[in-house]
């Protein structure tokens, strides 16, 4: 993993967001100026053309990082940045942006019983949804549940960094995943299912389905998040355009010794965040009342993180990732208008 100092987003981004909140304007960044202003769009329904080459002041960012940690630490055991805040986050984003009118699909990895999908359809009944669920019985129920929705399709397959089949499923219900709880404290709580699962590589699947753009992607796959991120191949420009806005779950599945995590060789939360930054994404912790901008250094192990059952430290919640060049201007503006300071 390539490492470099945090040098992209600084106080200028925060000032631009503050201006957006007060003015209600769509903000993008001109490559030749450090201020934000309206620019032309280069992609249909996407393309808030933004470069951040002029926003490089590490000293200012260091102060910002301190504030990020302080805000999170005050609420780390509360609901503000908890795992359920993502429901309010996506609904808030849908109401204030162009997600509901997008002609591109919303992909949901780990659709489970369709709770998230139901919430979304309640305010965006005409969106295209593609949900993925690895548990055969849950898949059957969810497929039946949405059978009357013409734009919703559910698949009995999971996401990963390679296409595989015959994978054993551990746990059940909303905490089922492709892990083995044997030898951990979870062994008495979770057993291995008799059912098996298959995985696809998301970027390859989209290519096969002729999906060049997505409106939004939700990744909630009980510890498989690092593999899914690698399978999106976000180092490629085509996939940065394909996946301009997505979120993934953080939480205890990322803890080093949690059985749902891949062990010492697997990405940490910091590794994943650094990779995304290097691919051009801005990162925001999803809150019940807005979004908190965070830098990869926010995920370096520290006392602001949670620790449970001796498995290691982690940040709780869900992370929103917006590509700095290819995100919809309306999505970017909606987030900037609700930044948490």
Say whether pLDDT at 310 is over 80: yes
The model's confidence at residue 301, banded by pLDDT at 50, 70 and 90, is very high
Say whether pLDDT at 39 is over 70: no
Say whether pLDDT at 207 is over 60: yes
Say whether pLDDT at 285 is over 90: yes
SS3 sequence of the chain: CCCCCCCCCCHHHHHHHHHHHHHCCCCEECCCCCCEECCCCCECCECCCCCCCCCCCHHHHHHHHHHHHHHHHHHCCCCCCCCCHHHHHHHHHHHHCCHHHCCCCEEEECCCCCHHHHHHHHHCCCCCEEEECCCHHHHHHHHHHCCCCCCEEEECCEEECCCEEEEEEECCHHHCECCCCCCCHHHHCCCEEEEEEEEEEHHHHHHHCCCCCCCEEEECCCCCHHHHHHHCCCCCHHHHHHCCEEEEECCHHHCCCCCCCCCCCCCCHHHHHHHHHHCCEEEEEECCCCEEEECHHHHCCCCCCEECCCCCEECCCEEEEEECCCCCHHHHHHHHCCECC
Q: What is the mean pLDDT of residues 254-263?
A: 89
Say whether pLDDT at 43 is over 90: no
Which pLDDT belongs to residue 73? 94
Which pLDDT belongs to residue 187? 67
- The structural domains of the chain, ordered by start, are 11-158+213-336 (3.40.50)
């Amino acid at each position: 993993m390539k490492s470099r100092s945090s040098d992209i987003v600084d106080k200028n981004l925060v000032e631009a967001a503050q201006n957006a909140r007060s003015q209600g304007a769509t903000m993008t960044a001109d490559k030749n100026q450090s201020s934000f202003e309206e620019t032309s769009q280069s992609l249909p329904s996407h393309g808030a053309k933004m470069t951040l080459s002029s926003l490089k002041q590490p000293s200012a960012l260091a102060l910002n990082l301190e504030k990020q940690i302080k805000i999170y630490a005050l609420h780390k055991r509360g609901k503000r940045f908890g795992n359920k805040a993502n429901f309010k986050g996506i609904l808030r984003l849908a109401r204030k942006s162009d997600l509901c009118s997008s002609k591109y699909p919303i992909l949901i990895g780990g659709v489970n019983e369709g709770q998230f999908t139901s919430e979304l359809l309640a305010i965006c009944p005409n969106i295209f949804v593609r949900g993925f669920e690895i548990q055969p019985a849950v898949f059957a129920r969810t497929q039946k549940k949405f059978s009357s929705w013409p734009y919703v399709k559910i698949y009995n397959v999971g996401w990963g960094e390679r296409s595989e089949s015959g994978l054993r499923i551990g746990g059940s219900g909303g905490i089922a995943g492709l892990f083995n709880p044997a030898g951990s404290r979870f062994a008495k709580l979770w057993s291995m299912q008799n059912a098996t699962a298959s995985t696809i590589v998301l970027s390859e699947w989209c290519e096969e389905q002729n999906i060049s753009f997505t409106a939004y992607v939700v990744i909630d796959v009980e510890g498989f998040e690092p593999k899914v991120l690698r399978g999106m191949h976000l180092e490629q420009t085509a996939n940065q355009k394909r996946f301009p806005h997505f979120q993934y779950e953080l939480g205890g599945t990322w803890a080093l010794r949690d059985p749902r995590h891949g062990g010492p060789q697997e990405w940490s939360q910091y590794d994943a965040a650094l990779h995304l930054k290097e691919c051009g994404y801005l990162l925001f912790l999803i809150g019940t009342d807005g979004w908190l901008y965070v830098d990869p250094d926010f995920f370096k192990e520290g006392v602001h993180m949670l620790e449970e059952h001796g498995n290691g430290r982690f940040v709780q919640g869900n992370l929103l990732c917006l590509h700095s060049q290819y995100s919809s201007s309306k999505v970017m503006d909606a987030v900037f208008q609700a930044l948490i300071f």
